Amino acid sequence: MSPFPLSVILCTYNRAGFLEKSLEGLARQTVSKKDFEVIIVDDGSQDNTTAVVEAFNGILPIQYLYQENKGLAFAKNRGIEKAQGDILVFLDDDDQASPSFLEEHLKTHRAFPEKNYSVLNFTTWSPHLKITPLMEFIITASGGLFSYSALKHGQILNYLFFWGGRSSCKREFLLENGLFNPIFRFGNEDAELGYRLSKLGFKVIYNKNAVSYMMRPIGFEDFCRRSILQGRANFIWSRLHPEPEVLEWCQMDTINQNWSTVRENFDLIIEYARELDDFGNKIMNLGVPLPFPFRDILKMAYGEAFWACKIKGIMEERREQASSVESSPQKTFLLDPIQAPFKVVAIICAYNEGDIIYHVIRHLIENDIYVYLLNHHSTDNTLEEASKWLGKGLLHIELFPDESDMPKKHEEIFALRMITKRIEQLHLELGADWYLHHDADEFRESPWPRMTLCDSIKLVDALGYNAIDFNLLNFRPIDNSFIPGEDVRQFLKYYEPGEDFNKIQIKAWKNFGQSIDLCTFFGHEPIFEGKKVFPCRFLTLHFPVRSSEHGLKKAIKERIKRFDPKEREAGAHIQYDEINKEYNFIRKKKELTLYQATKVREKLWFDVIFKEVGNREEGDLRS
């Protein structure tokens, strides 16, 4: 039997001043000191935390545990392991409990004695703080710190309300079913544990009378940093539990679309909000209420800034985790630190695509696609630009054909049968779930606008299909404005449909241990038993020529003379046959179509619908 009903777990790091106030609040509790203990886990503080704790020996029943800095989740687990109370109360080191705080927690647990019930208390700003417009905002529903406006006293809530520093639960339930995951150093350690426990009926009861006060003011820069850390934690949680509700909560279902918005405008978004925040503080210091229109504009700026910080945090964590991946492709899948449950690899063969390859690889990685690059003896900066992604999603750069068992004579000859033969081998070697046969001058997109390429392929797989066809769009320059090394999609925005010989583009397929034949159709379509192609085509945005100078260099100087003569006799490599030194690569807008992603995707689905209608009508006629 436990010696007392309550164990207060208070984890701290370099906040001696706030810790002292927090302990003072615990010393004034209405419950007897015989009914609770205080476990302080010092996560490697370098200030005078130890002296503060020593000052309360004899005033509070304290266990003091010191550890090297290992993060919040690890510290909480250590406190749980040392706790002797039946009920664990988690209190942040910058919060001060009201006198009846522990009494109210205990009262609710006695009303709900089942092991799977926990308690959420009410937290608000300390009355000693000067409340800024920012501090008002972050405790609203969209603010991101804590908000109780939609909650009712005694309400039964789900696991997302298991808020770390303002909750309590039964110790036995955690010991039986799981503790905090120490991979979380800040943020989401509570929600992730709650998510796991929710499978076992975990519930949260809200008690508005159990009150704690946050003593630490928060400024704009503080909350930006916090939001970035929250984004990092979101990425980690989404990788541990890639279920739809987690992906949505962590903002991973729209991350690539959101990042494309944030990446180019992040500094402007933050600076705009920072200036409005500064102006709002100046108005408040004058004792003048914020004018109504400005208040709404400020709230919108705050929301945009902290959302952008979360998105940035997600991308930072994704790239950091990817950077620890070893360059060996086989080891990569064995040692992948994010344990991605569904792996797609794009295999690219490149020759002198240094002006575009960086952004091609970036686009794939941002869509959660791994990349394996065959460098076909490029003489430009292709290797240099591609190498920037090694360890960040680019698995390996293979010098082709030198590092394969292909004949060395093909280092100066572009022979599709040799490249596709190597891809057939890699299909069996790399161990991915799906593969993309991908060119170095194209960008692949999903028919679903808010899904990553990887998630879209995963959905196709779940629907029972094992191959994907692509609709090829050839983008043409209308001027010579393209700057090598920049994202070509920002310069070439007009396209025409792919050529007749490129109509078939079945360039994604599932790996279920089968051998494939890519050579027969020159890489345009894999041959394997049981192939089932998804009815809606995905998109290939192809940028073969970026300017007049580039077109002449690529077609005449680099490509035509390298094409395998035998393959040309068989009908391959005919795309540059009409090109000579006088050829004009610059096209007129009226000859092309402006790329509008929504309209193009709509057409993809209309094609599916009308094809199905046509099949039905044909069947009706036959019957």
Pair of tokens at residue 56 = 């309360």
N residues, the chain? 623
Measure CA 180 to chain center: 21
CA distance 365 to 357: 12
Q: Which amino acid is at 203?
A: K
Q: Which amino acid is at 365?
A: I
CA distance 234 to 240: 10
Around Cβ 145, how many Cβ atoms within 10 Å?
Answer: 16
Around Cβ 441, how many Cβ atoms within 10 Å?
Answer: 21
Task: Express each pLDDT in 54-71 by its tens digit.
Answer: 999 999 999 999 998 888
CA distance 180 to 168: 14
CA distance 192 to 471: 40
pLDDT of residue 183: 83
Q: Which residues contact 297 (CB under 8 A, 6 or more apart)?
A: 276
pLDDT of residue 412: 64
Strand 87-91 to 166-170 pairing: antiparallel
CATH number of this structure's domain 340-615, picked from the four choices 1.10.3720.10, 3.90.550.10, 3.40.50.720, 3.30.505.50:
3.90.550.10
Name the burial class of residue 478, with classes exposed (0-12), middle (13-18) and buried (19+) by CB atoms within 10 angstroms of its CB: middle
Among 58, 65, 3, smallest CA distance to 34 is for: 3
Dihedral through CA 274, CA 275, CA 276, CA 281, nearest 10? 90
Question: Quick check: 15 and 37 in contact, CB under 8 A?
Answer: no
Sign of the C-alpha dihedral, residues 129, 134, 136, 139? Answer: negative
Find residue 370's DSSP bridge partners: 345
Task: Express each pLDDT in 87-127 by its tens digit.
Answer: 999 999 999 999 999 999 999 999 999 999 999 999 999 99
CA distance 169 to 173: 8
CA distance 88 to 205: 15
CA distance 609 to 536: 9
The answer to pTM > 0.85 is no
Among 211, 4, 207, 181, smallest CA distance to 97 is for: 211
CA distance 305 to 299: 10
Question: Quick check: 545 and 476 in contact, CB under 8 A?
Answer: yes
pLDDT of residue 76: 92
Around Cβ 81, how many Cβ atoms within 10 Å?
Answer: 12
The pLDDT averaged over each successive group of 10 residues in the chain (623 residues) is: 88 94 96 95 94 94 92 91 94 96 97 96 94 91 81 94 93 89 86 92 96 95 95 89 87 82 86 91 87 86 93 88 48 35 91 94 94 89 91 88 63 70 89 94 91 90 92 96 95 93 92 90 90 94 93 73 64 59 86 94 81 46 32
Task: Express each pLDDT in 253-293 by its tens digit.
Answer: 788 778 888 887 898 899 999 999 999 999 888 888 888 78
pLDDT of residue 45: 94
Any idea which residue has 């919060």 for tokens?
A: 95
Question: Quick check: 172 and 56 in contact, CB under 8 A?
Answer: no
pLDDT of residue 576: 56
Instruction: Kindly state which CATH superfamily the domain 6-217 is placed in.
Output: Spore Coat Polysaccharide Biosynthesis Protein SpsA; Chain A (3.90.550.10)
Sign of the C-alpha dihedral, residues 122, 124, 127, 128? Answer: positive
pLDDT of residue 567: 59
- Mean pLDDT, the chain, rounded, equals 87
